[in-house]
Amino acid sequence: GAVVSQHPSRVICKSGTSVKIECRSLDFQATTMFWYRQFPKQSLMLMATSNEGSKATYEQGVEKDKFLINHASLTLSTLTVTSAHPEDSSFYICSARGFSGVADTQYFGPGTRLTVL
């Protein structure tokens, strides 16, 4: 089946630094990738939709200058958390849109646990 990877799986950083998270579709091309944030024991909140070669579309309330998204190729999207603060600590999950047979399906990465000290 389709595989999506994320790197790193865990990152701890100091307040004020920037952190980059990579999301890769390993065995298929994904024109669209999505970035979610998940708080403990809560649901996934869509942050932005990333289309290859164009600017990301951010959901209401998500700061685009804070969470920079780049989708430079059909297999890679990156999320950069700029000037991270403790309140940015969370579980960040990406998904890639692909086709399973004839069906449009999202495949999820394993997530990245960000802790900002």
Partner 1 sequence: GDSVTQMEGPVTLSEEAFLTINCTYTATGYPSLFWYVQYPGEGLQLLLKATKADDKGSNKGFEATYRKETTSFHLEKGSVQVSDSAVYFCALSDNQGGKLIFGQGTELSVKP
In the complex with partner 1, the residue whose CB is nearer, 111 or 116, is 111
Min CB(81)–partner 1 separation in Å: 19
In the complex with partner 1, the residue whose CB is nearer, 39 or 72, is 39
| Residue 36 vs residues 19, 62, 90, 101: alpha-carbon distances, Å | 16, 11, 10, 25
Min CB(112)–partner 1 separation in Å: 10
List of residues contacting partner 1 (CB under 8 A): 4, 6, 32, 34, 41-44, 46, 49, 93, 95, 97, 103-111
| Residue 78 vs residues 40, 41, 100: alpha-carbon distances, Å | 23, 25, 24
Bridge partners of residue 36, in order along the sequence? 46, 93
Min CB(30)–partner 1 separation in Å: 10
- Residues contacting 70, CB < 8 A, separation 6+: 50, 56, 77, 78, 80
In the complex with partner 1, the residue whose CB is nearer, 14 or 104, is 104
